[in-house]
Structure 1
Amino acid sequence: MGSALETLCGQAVGAGQLQMLGVYMQRSWIICLATSLALLPLYLLTSPVLRLLRQSTAIAAVSGRYARWCVPQLFAYAVNFPIQKFYQAQSRVWVMTAISGAVLAAHALLNRVVVARLGRGMVGAAVVGDVSWRLLNAAQFVYLVGGSFPEAWTGFSRKAFASLGGFVRLSIASAVMLRLEMWYYTAVLILVGCLKNPEIQVGAISICMNYQLWTLMVALGFNAAVSVRVSNELGANHPKAAKFSVVVATTTSAAIGLVFTAIALAARKEMPRLFTGDAAVVKETAKLGYLLAATIFLNSIQPVL
């Protein structure tokens, strides 16, 4: 729902309408928080929903407990995503990167203490995630109101509640497109959960998806960069520059994707040991190595396009 901001903020910067960025961001906050509220029952009822989808009782119970503790992250992300797009549209990425790096370090340290040393398990991991997201939002909000954006941020405005209908329509279109792209992860996990020995199968596919999502982060970086560049150039009425940006970003991302693909193939038997010591899970994950490699390469191109 927040992806509409990529188009609107980027074109506003290209057209020199910086005063609209803060208003657009606030509209996106309203829509994303309302969406999070609508999604809240799914978080609270995760266990019965998973059981309805014929997942194992053990997996459904653990997932439900984890999801309930992750509710603060749902609302934190609804606040964070529009701020990200506000910064990216103006190419203010290095401060955001530094903030994210500092929070990541704190997140790793907290996980080591709470999960590893204190033994708080899945609930501890969820609570650490809640804390980390709040730290991230607080730091980014301080940067927002600190005077670095005198034209783009002039404070909270009632204009955010105007023209919400058109903004919602664009948001829904963006959400449908992205959901259709991303739901196959969920569909695969649900289907795997219906197999025999679901704990082993879900473990194997989850390891593959973790590694694939690590590599996808690079493609999503190019996704954000080309989205900003194209929308800036279109806002400034430079369509040829926008087209050239797409070619450069797609080619570069595909080249990096080839490297990740080669690593996935070369390390398909050893890579699972980074995640688990269970020999059965390691064996099942290694079998998926060739499919994982193909997925990584395709996903280095698709997000950028």
Structure 2
Amino acid sequence: MDDEINTKLLRHEEEEEGDLKQRIWTESKKIWRVALPGVISRFCAFGTIIVTQSFIGHVNDIDLAGYALVQSLSVRFVNGILLGMSSATETLCGQAFGAGQHHMMGIYLQRSWIVDLITLTVLLPIFIFGSQIFKLVGEEESIANSGGYISLWFIPFVYNFVFSLTIQMFLQAQLKNMIIAWLSAFQFAIHIPLSFLFVYKLNMGIAGAMIALSMSSWVLVIGEFIYVFGGWCPHSWKGFTVAAFKDLVPVVKLSLSSGVMVCLELWYNAVLVLLAGYTANAEVAISAFSICLNVNAWEFMISLGFLGAACVRVANELGRGNAKAVRFSIQVLLGTSIVIGVFFFVLCLVFGKKLAYLFTDDDRVADTVSDLSLLLSFSVLLNSIYPVLSGVAVGAGLQSVVAIVNLVCFYLIGIPLGALLGYLTSLEVKGIWIGMIGGVLTQTITLVYMTWRTDWDDQVKKASERLTRFYLKSDETTEQVTNEL
């Protein structure tokens, strides 16, 4: 009798284990369907910025520092605002898709274009008066002048963010973002020969590198327009509509909370680059620190793929009203991302110093990068955790809570700690980076606790209320803007 009971229990455990493996496999396929195209597209898009930095670094060391300053401060500042405000599109489109309100997704996309275009235009003085701003914050005159010149060349580039970021989120929410991966790969593939042509063959130097960057970035946007407008999104894109101008205020509110959340995260690194500019031998410090941050940011593109997957999976399941599926998806997401993080942690430890020579021929910069490689490795490891949890928050519409967490952990803990270690000890740039890790570690622990304590059944109710508030019938979206005008 006991043997029979033990046999039944063993069989039941085996069935549960097999069922769990199947559930993990099924969830992993859903995650990678979103994450892999997201990783490829972000990796390639950011890769164009890295390639441009590499070309400029082999032209002139002062311009390398100037480019690093603009890319790490001005572009990151503006990109942070636009990426954050665009993540409202990610929340709304993801939940609308899960709830079957497909026609609303095109309206949310158009609303995000309106909000982002106005926002970016307001922010243009950051690039127009780049040199004056850098001098105002105390950067060396030669670096500030170079940064001011490069800032002007970045203007046509940054306008691509308005469309590329939002369309990617629009397509990602409906599991159609593989096209973005292909377009991004094509963008990266043509960027290298374009840079070589303009910088070396036509001998255009810095201007040539920046022209190549803008041209390749708009190739991606044009490809996205063709896909969306060409009939490949028949249920979610119904054409331009005056409905896009309705309910803009609540969308702006969600966009602002999203913007603050992401901005506080992206600006964190920018402030640390600024702090590096006040250390001894600022040119070497800024260049080395920027190289490490860009390597970290390039790997972070993988984490952003998982951030997008977390947002889509959480938003879709909340839209469907399935709180249990949300919890399980978070567990699988974190497990997968951490395994990848450990792999890159080891990789950065092994190839620390060699990374620098991809960007510069200066041995002083390379030695400083080598000295920071251990800290870079730990940053890469943390990248595998907190972006996933940020994606969970975006999917649930909890951006405002994470914004407060980011403010406290980064600006009240990380930056003061980095400044303290960087200026009052002999650690300098290394001390600034230790402070950065301290802030990220605190944020990671807080987000883990917050995710664990979240009542997902309650979040299902809130998602349903939000979708009901914004809902418009399909026939209300067929009015064309041109007919109204």
TM range (shorter): over 0.9
Q: TM-score normalised to the size of structure 1?
A: 0.98
The one-character-per-residue Cα deviations of 1:168-210 (angstroms, maximum 9, x if unpaired) are 0000000001111111111111111112211111111111011
Give, in angstroms, the shift of residue 120 of structure 1. Answer: 2.2
Task: Specify which structure has the higher proportion of helix.
Answer: 2
Partner residue, 1:189: 273
Q: How does 1:111-150 map to 2 (within 5 A)?
A: 111-150=195-234
Q: How does 1:181-260 map to 2 (within 5 A)?
A: 181-260=265-344
Distance of 1:295 and 1:121 partners within structure 2: 33
Select 2:384's aligned residue among 293, 296, 300.
Answer: 300
Matched, 1:175 2:250: no
Distance of 1:68 and 1:43 partners within structure 2: 6
Distance of 1:64 and 1:250 partners within structure 2: 41
Select 1:58's aligned residue among 142, 163, 181.
Answer: 142
Distance of 1:212 and 1:120 partners within structure 2: 29
Corresponding letter in the other structure for 2:257: A
The residue matched to 1:151 in structure 2 has which SS?
coil
The one-character-per-residue Cα deviations of 1:30-64 (angstroms, maximum 9, x if unpaired) are 00101101110111111111101101111111111
Give, in angstroms, the shift of residue 118 of structure 1. Answer: 2.6
Distance of 1:117 and 1:296 partners within structure 2: 37
Select 1:107's aligned residue among 191, 197, 202.
Answer: 191
The one-character-per-residue Cα deviations of 1:215-249 (angstroms, maximum 9, x if unpaired) are 10111011111111110000000111111111111
The residue matched to 1:270 in structure 2 has which SS?
helix
Partner residue, 2:372: 288
Corresponding letter in the other structure for 1:4: A
Matched, 1:67 2:151: yes
Partner residue, 2:99: 15
Corresponding letter in the other structure for 1:122: I
8 Å CA contact retained: 1:193, 1:201:
yes
Partner residue, 2:54: none
Corresponding letter in the other structure for 2:100: G
What RMSD, in angstroms, separates the aligned Cα atoms of the two structures? 1.0
Distance of 1:230 and 1:252 partners within structure 2: 16
Distance change (3 Å), C-alpha of 1:138 and 1:61? same
The residue matched to 1:3 in structure 2 has which SS?
helix
Q: How many residues align?
A: 305
Distance of 1:77 and 1:116 partners within structure 2: 28
Partner residue, 2:43: none
The one-character-per-residue Cα deviations of 1:81-103 (angstroms, maximum 9, x if unpaired) are 11111100011121111111111
Distance of 1:157 and 1:80 partners within structure 2: 20
The residue matched to 2:151 in structure 1 has which SS?
helix
Distance of 1:222 and 1:239 partners within structure 2: 20
Give, in angstroms, the shift of residue 271 of structure 1. Answer: 2.0
Q: TM-score normalised to the size of structure 2?
A: 0.62
Runs of 4+ with >4 A deviation: none
Distance of 1:44 and 1:141 partners within structure 2: 28
Moved more, 214-223 or 107-116: 107-116
Distance of 2:129 and 2:240 partners within structure 1: 35
Distance of 2:328 and 2:192 partners within structure 1: 39
Partner residue, 1:25: 109
Distance of 1:75 and 1:117 partners within structure 2: 27
Distance of 1:281 and 1:303 partners within structure 2: 29
Distance of 1:14 and 1:63 partners within structure 2: 45
Select 1:271's aligned residue among 317, 333, 355.
Answer: 355
Distance of 1:116 and 1:222 partners within structure 2: 37
Moved more, 146-155 or 169-178: 146-155
Distance of 2:342 and 2:98 partners within structure 1: 33
Give, in angstroms, the shift of residue 126 of structure 1. Answer: 1.6
Partner residue, 1:92: 176
Distance of 1:240 and 1:122 partners within structure 2: 53
- Select the structure of larger CA radius of gyration: 2
Unaligned runs of 5+ in 2: 1-84, 390-485
8 Å CA contact retained: 1:5, 1:85:
yes
The residue matched to 1:245 in structure 2 has which SS?
helix
Identity over aligned residues, as a percent? Answer: 40
Give, in angstroms, the shift of residue 269 of structure 1. Answer: 2.2
Corresponding letter in the other structure for 1:74: V
Give, in angstroms, the shift of residue 121 of structure 1. Answer: 2.5
Moved more, 144-153 or 155-164: 144-153
8 Å CA contact retained: 1:33, 1:79:
no
Distance of 1:130 and 1:187 partners within structure 2: 26
8 Å CA contact retained: 1:77, 1:133:
no
